[in-house]
Amino acid sequence: MVSCYKYIAKIASFAVVFAPTVAFAELESQITAFVVTTDATGVEQYAPADQVKPGQMIEYRIRHTNTFDNAISGVAVTGPVPEGGELVVERSTSDVAATLEVSGEFDPDRPGEEWSTLPAQRIVVQADGSRLIETAKPEHFTAVRWILSNSMPQDVSVNHAYRVLIK
């Protein structure tokens, strides 16, 4: 069994990006991680992700509450896909209108990671130097983010969830 630290330590690295005039303290944020299992009847069960091992599914839940005096616009919610994990794209949800994007190294000519909507495309350099454009796979993603479509009203909470399969 592997300590969850290796797989969920990047939780602390998640970011919330919003209009530069808003103080960070005015947006309360919480992220939790759960190991997802299924009981004999097929009902999903959730346990705190204190320890994880290969083959387990982890569900991250992110909740933000606007405690500012007014609505906040330009909010983007970001969560990590830990090393050794694979994003389960179809289990990435938002309870508000938002655009889902993924991060990864998609272009070898641009150092570092980039954000892309799905389906993300990546350039693969072949052994002969030729280039192939292919659809990026979930194992290529290192983070997920939602860009909120609308302003976040005062005293409102938004929720996002996504799953990662530990390889």
Q: Which tokens in the block code for residue 97?
A: 């209108």
The CATH number assigned to the domain holding 63 equals 2.60.40
pTM over 0.75: yes
* Residue 74 predicted with pLDDT over 80: yes
150-161 pLDDT, tens digit each: 999 999 999 999
Our measurement of the distance from residue 149's CA atom to the centroid of its chain's CA atoms, rounded to an integer in Å, reads 17
Please state, in angstroms and rounded to a whole number, the distance separating the CA atoms of residues 127 and 74: 42
pLDDT tens, 110-143? 989 999 999 999 999 999 999 999 999 999 999 9
| Structural domain for 88, as ranges | 2-166
Count the domains in the chain: 1
